[in-house]
Chain A
Amino acid sequence: MATEALFCCDEAQARPWLDRLDARARIVAALAIVLCAVAIRSPWVLLAGAPLLLGFALACGLRGGEILARLAHAEGFLLVLLLMLPLTVPGPAWATLGPLEFSRPGVERAVMILLRVNLSALAVLTLLAGLEPSRFGHALARLGVPEKLAHLLLFAARWTELVRQEARRLHDAMRARAFRASTSAHSWRTLGHFTGQLLLRALERAERVDEAMRCRGFSGRFALVSDERFRARDLVFLAGLGCVLLGGLLADRAA
């Protein structure tokens, strides 16, 4: 019922030398790459960037299979867009397949989207996916995200695994009583009760946690302690990346 694929990728993978960088540098770098991928208008510049980013990802210790699995995951509506754009954008025909006519500008739009989406996803996968949620939350707080929001993120990341275990227990109990999800009123009502029960248990856990934290003097604030420092290697990394991205943007202007 619950997608197993999602259950097994919760452990942050170590990225040997990337982990020595400050988490803030990684967040800023990922954001910069994605913004440039969205801003650049020339497909050739993006195409030139692809092997660079791919090389960087492999150098950081990502495996090819891991990258493919992540990039192959496409949202349903992205598929619709990629299929529909070549058919619906008006313009001279690029290829015809029976009654279907693929227009040149439509294909160009689809290729651009494909390039941008994949470059952005690769940047996030390389720089951020390996970051433990706690480091990520601390880095966000130090980048100026409101403290309440950072706390919310840290707590939520901490409890997701516990709630997952709770969900798995409930699911096992349902399976032991021969429940199989199907398209039926019974099935939907049962899943409704499952979700309701999960919520109730979470609320009860929240009350217990709240009392326990009050016992320990929690007044709504946690000291965010992090020993990460912005070092020279972070500066070198960001400066190098900045040069590459600036080069890309200038090449895009010229193209």
Chain B
Amino acid sequence: MAHIPDGVLSFPVLAGGAALAVGGVALGLRRMDEAEIPKTAILASTFFVASLVAVPVGPSSVHLLLSGLMGLVLGLRAIPAVFVGLLLQAVLFGFGGITSLGVDLVDIAFPGVAAALIARPALARAQGWRVGALGAAVAAAGVAGTAACVSLALALSSADYVPSLRVIALTYIPLALAEAALTGGVVAYLKRVKPEALGLAEEAAA
């Protein structure tokens, strides 16, 4: 959905995306203690598998990005985790490209992680139905951010793409709906069953 293949974007956009991605991955790696590598990797493969699940929306179905949820569970470590997922997808399944990996990482991981980091303090205080609603809001904001970043990358690459952007943006609406509904469910479930999974206990201890 948000995987831009090789050969669509212009060189400056690819280079800019790669530079931002390197910075993001470096930041995430610095936050990742070496002993945390196995845990982060297991979560990365879990998100990878969960994003293969086709969620029905009306007559068609979508594959989720789960970037908001990853941000909530992994924090900044979500950036290298998403990168690994994208790399495996690009190489093994041919989704997305290898020169566009940087742009794809910025498009997919950055908005979700940012939304999650902003929402985390509120989530720690939230009770009842607000927990699910916050989770849904984080997911929807992540998808909206992804749509905005993809549009920006295309618009900066070539003015010829601009008229198509409105149609492309429309395709993100079902994704945002499904993503919000599902993430809301997951966050409410995790907060009830295992709040540490959302990093809430960790935050309190730190």
Query: Which residues of A pack against B, CB within 8 Å?
Result: 1-3, 6, 9-10, 12, 30-31, 34-35, 37-39, 70, 73, 75-78, 80-81, 84-85, 88-89, 106, 109, 113, 115-117, 119-121, 124-125, 128-129, 131, 133, 136, 146, 148-149, 151-160, 162-164, 167, 181-183, 185, 187-200, 202-203, 205-207, 209-210, 213-214, 218-221
Contact = CB atoms under 8 A, between A and B. Distances in A.
Given A196-B190, A205-B42, A148 B92 contact: no
A245 B14 CA distance: 20
B205 interface: no
A200 B29 CA distance: 23
B6 A129 contact: no
Interface in B164-188: 164, 167-168, 171, 178, 181-186, 188
B160 A152 contact: no
A153 B84 contact: yes
Contact of B182 (A73, A80, A192, A213): A192
Contacts of B37: 148, 151-152, 155, 220
A219 B189 contact: no
Interface of B: 1, 3-8, 11, 14, 25-26, 29, 32-35, 37-46, 48-50, 52-58, 61, 63, 66, 69, 73, 80-81, 83-85, 87-88, 90-95, 97-99, 150, 158, 160-161, 163-164, 167-168, 171, 178, 181-186, 188-190, 193-194, 197
B66 to A, nearest CB: 8
Contact of B178 (A78, A149, A188, A214): A188
A2 B64 CA distance: 12
Contact of A203 (B14, B80, B194): B194
A238 B114 CA distance: 41
The binding surface of chain A is classed by DSSP as: helix
Contacts, number: 257
B56 A183 contact: yes
Contacts of B186: 192-193, 195-196, 199
B34 to A, nearest CB: 3
B6 A192 contact: no
Contacts of B188: 192
A75 B98 contact: no
Contact of A156 (B11, B48, B168, B171): B48
A166 to B, nearest CB: 8
Contacts of A200: 190, 193-194, 197
A196 B53 contact: no
Given A203-B42, A209-B42, 10 more contacts: A9-B92, A70-B94, A75-B4, A75-B95, A84-B163, A85-B164, A106-B160, A116-B7, A188-B185, A200-B197
Contacts of B90: 124
B185 A193 contact: yes
A157 B88 contact: yes
B55 A191 contact: yes
